Amino acid sequence: MPKSYDMLFASSNTHKYEEAEKILAEFDIELGFFQTELIEIQDDSLSKIASQKALNAYEKCKKPVIIEDDGLFINSLSGFPGPYSSYIFDTIGNNGILKLLGDNRDAQFVAIIAFCDSSNEPTLFESSVAGTISKNIQDGGWGYDPIFIPGKQNKTYAELDNKNKLSHRYESLKKFAIWFNNKLV
Peptide bond into 81 cis (omega under 30): yes
Question: For residue 163, which phi and psi values (nearest 5 degrees)?
Answer: -50, -45
Q: Which of 43, 44, 69, 90 is catalytic?
A: 69
Residue 12 Rama label (left phi>0; alpha psi -120 to 50; beta): alpha
Alpha carbon distance 44, 52 (integer Å) = 13
**Is residue 54 within 8 Å of residue 30, measured between CB atoms?**
no
Distance CA 62, CA 75 (A): 39
69 is catalytic: yes
List residues with catalytic annotation: 69
